[in-house]
């Protein structure tokens, strides 16, 4: 079986399982891991060896970029304090705790045990975003979970490089050197990501070619990552910053047609990459197990111990932090609901896998790095276990916590926003009528369309289905496009004034884009 055949079969398997997960309303990452593990255990399936560059360079950048685009600057500003504490304190605490447990239970030396701790220290934005799409979490909670997983890379990457350097060179850890590496990785990556985003914004403002815009959208995460890595900074941080900046401004940089096309193409790419990479996690575990030495056969007991440590240290960190923040806000009764969801949503995924695969094969002396296969096995096993256990139970935890937004809440918010948009468009239409900007027949058609939408918003019903046949197409389309521009501006004002969530803004913007694209064919 050739490598190309394996790749094609993997794509077919992953796509079929992910499609089934959507149909049955199951967490796709969890189901994909199980499917990959089941296939990997079949005797005729060849060993799967994944090169580090496949995950870190080919797969990771677009998935990170898509996750970062979903977070707005407004939501980040609202959660930056708790996220900062989690990004620094929790990552360090997790690395130390996992390193100590691994050193005590497994054959890993102290140095290699802390390599494992650094690999598993951070939550994964790809897994968190993929699981979070199924949940109606409050915007603040969703932003906190995603922002933590996106921005803890610099901290965990510094810890990883320090731990790997210690393991391969048997050197001592220098705190000033580690601090300097963090500034270089995190700060340098952020500057490069912002710079790439600025260049992309200048280019996108000067083009209306859908093909070129789509290519730019696909190339941006790779350009950010490769440029940052070549300059010895954090490629992941660069991709995240570029994604956040362009995600907050993208609706102002292109037309409706282009936004819809880019959304469709990028959605397809993300779906395929997510499906394949989570299936690879399950497929690779049997291959890694077969490479273990005799003294490493205790991995079935060590993986649950490491996974439990990761979750326990997160619970012990998040609950006191949440209680302290609630106390400072004057809450006399401390709630467990939000910290429970935050703790349980902290799964591991693609990021730890990419880090583990990049561990050197040998020490500086040329000898094989001891227990590298065991580190990979424990990492992959912990990722699979957290994705399966936490992935399948996260919905229940959210439901029991009672913090999930009910469908009625989302429908009311969207209906109110639709009412504001229709009212703004009607007010603009009044000015058109006063200026006799079009024929009475055209203005009448436009008014009927907007009033129908306003009535539907008042009734909190489905989107507009007004039949617009036999209307004067050119004049109607021109006026309607002008009014859609007014509605887009009003939509942005509602969002900036905290009247609607980012999810509602993105959904309504897509609705307006679809209508505008329909007007122009």
pLDDT tens per residue across span 145-173: 888 888 887 678 778 877 887 777 655 55
Q: State the Cα–Cα distance between residues 301 and 295, nearest whole angstrom.
A: 13
What average pLDDT does the segment 248-260 reach?
Answer: 79
* Confidence (pLDDT) at 198: 94
Q: Quote the tokens at residue 416.
A: 């109110």
Q: Per this entry, what is the length of the chain? A: 521
- Residues of the chain with pLDDT > 90, as a percent, come to 18
Domain ranges of the chain: 3-182+268-401, 407-519
Q: Which residue has the higher pLDDT, 304 or 495?
A: 304
In percent, the amount of the chain with pLDDT more than 70 equals 91
> For residues 49-59, b (16+ Cβ closer than 10 Å) or e, as one string?
ebeeebbbbeb
Measured in degrees and rounded to the nearest 5, phi and psi for residue 339 equal -60, -30
Asked whether the predicted pLDDT for residue 468 surpasses 50, the reply is no
Euclidean distance between CA atoms 448 and 428, whole angstroms? 14
The residue among 440 and 95 whose pLDDT is bigger is 95
Q: What is the mean pLDDT of residues 505-520?
A: 85
Q: What is the pLDDT of residue 104?
A: 93
Contacting residues for 268 by C-beta, under 8 A, at least 6 apart: none
Q: Which long-range contacts (CB under 8 A, 24 or more apart) does 44-49 make?
A: 45/283, 46/1, 46/6, 47/287, 47/290, 48/6, 48/280, 48/283, 48/284, 48/287, 49/287
Could you identify the residue written with the tokens 């890379």? 153
Report the pLDDT averaged over residues 409-421: 85
Enumerate the β-bridge partners of residue 362: 368
Torsion of CA 393, 395, 397, 401, to 10 degrees: -170
Question: Rounded to 10 degrees, what is the CA torsion of 380, 384, 387, 389?
Answer: -140
Q: What is the DSSP letter of 121?
A: S
Crossing angle between the packed helical segments 350-357 and 372-401, to the nearest 10 degrees = 170
Nearest to 305 by CA among 78, 498, 120, 59: 120
d(CA 520, CA 501): 29
Higher pLDDT, 519 or 33: 33
Which listed CATH number (3.30.830.10, 3.30.2320.80, 1.20.840.10, 1.20.1530.20) goes with 3-182+268-401?
1.20.1530.20
pLDDT at residue 178, as a whole number? 67
Q: Is the pLDDT of residue 275 over 80?
A: yes
Cα–Cα separations (whole angstroms), residue 197 to 36, 54, 205, 255, 284: 36, 24, 12, 18, 35
For 106, list phi and psi in degrees, rounded to 5.
-110, 170
Tens of pLDDT, residue by residue over 99-148, are 999 999 999 988 889 899 999 988 877 777 776 666 777 778 888 888 88
In the chain, the largest separation of any two C-alpha atoms, in whole Å, equals 87
Q: What is the pLDDT of residue 95?
A: 92
Total-model pTM: 0.82
């Amino acid at each position: 079986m050739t490598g190309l055949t394996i790749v094609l079969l993997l794509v077919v398997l992953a796509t079929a399982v992910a499609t089934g997960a959507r149909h049955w309303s199951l967490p796709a990452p969890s189901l994909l891991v199980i499917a990959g593990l089941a296939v990997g255990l079949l005797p005729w399936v060849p060993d799967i060896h994944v090169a580090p560059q496949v995950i870190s360079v080919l797969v990771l950048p677009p998935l990170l970029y898509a996750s970062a685009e979903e977070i707005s600057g407004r939501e980040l500003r609202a959660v930056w304090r708790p996220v900062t504490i989690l990004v620094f304190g929790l990552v360090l605490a997790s690395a130390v705790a996992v390193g100590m447990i691994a050193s005590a239970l497994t054959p890993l030396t102290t140095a290699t045990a802390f390599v494992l701790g650094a690999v598993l220290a951070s939550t994964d934005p790809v897994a968190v975003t993929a699981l979070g799409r199924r949940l109606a979490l409050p915007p603040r909670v969703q932003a906190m979970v995603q922002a933590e997983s996106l921005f803890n890379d610099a901290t965990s990457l510094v810890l990883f490089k320090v731990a790997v350097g210690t393991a391969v060179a048997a050197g001592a850890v220098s705190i000033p050197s580690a601090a300097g590496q963090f500034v270089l990785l995190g700060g340098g990556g952020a500057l490069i990501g912002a710079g790439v985003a600025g260049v992309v914004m200048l280019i996108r403002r000067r083009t209306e070619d859908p093909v070129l815009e789509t290519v730019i959208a696909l190339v941006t995460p790779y350009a950010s990552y490769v440029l940052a890595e070549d300059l010895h900074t954090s490629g992941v941080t660069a991709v995240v910053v570029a994604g956040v900046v362009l995600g907050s401004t993208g609706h102002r940089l292109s037309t409706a047609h282009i936004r819809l096309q880019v959304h469709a193409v990028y959605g397809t790419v993300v779906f395929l990459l997510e499906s394949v990479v989570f299936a690879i996690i399950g497929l690779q575990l049997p291959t890694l197990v077969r490479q273990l030495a005799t003294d490493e056969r205790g991995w079935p007991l060590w993986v649950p111990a490491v996974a439990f440590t990761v979750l326990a240290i997160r619970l012990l960190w998040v609950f006191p932090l949440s209680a302290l923040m609630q106390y400072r806000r004057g809450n006399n009764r401390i709630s467990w609901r939000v910290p429970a969801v935050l703790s349980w949503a902290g799964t591991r995924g693609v990021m730890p896998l990419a880090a583990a695969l990049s561990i050197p094969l040998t020490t500086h002396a040329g000898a094989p790095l001891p227990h590298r296969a065991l580190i990979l096995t424990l990492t992959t096993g912990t990722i699979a276990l957290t994705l399966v256990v936490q992935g399948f139970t996260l919905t229940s935890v959210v439901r029991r916590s009672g913090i999930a937004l009910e469908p009625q809440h989302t429908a009311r918010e969207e209906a109110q926003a639709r009412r504001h948009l229709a009212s703004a468009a009607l007010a603009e239409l009044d000015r058109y009528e006063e200026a006799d900007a079009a024929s009475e027949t055209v203005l009448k058609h436009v008014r009927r369309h907007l009033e129908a939408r306003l009535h539907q918003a008042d009734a909190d019903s489905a989107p507009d289905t007004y039949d617009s046949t036999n209307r004067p197409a050119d004049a109607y389309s021109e006026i309607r496009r002008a009014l859609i521009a007014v509605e887009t501006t009003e939509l942005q004002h509602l969002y900036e004034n905290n009247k609607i969530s980012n999810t509602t803004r993105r959904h309504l913007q897509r609705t307006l884009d679809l209508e505008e694209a329909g007007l122009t064919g």
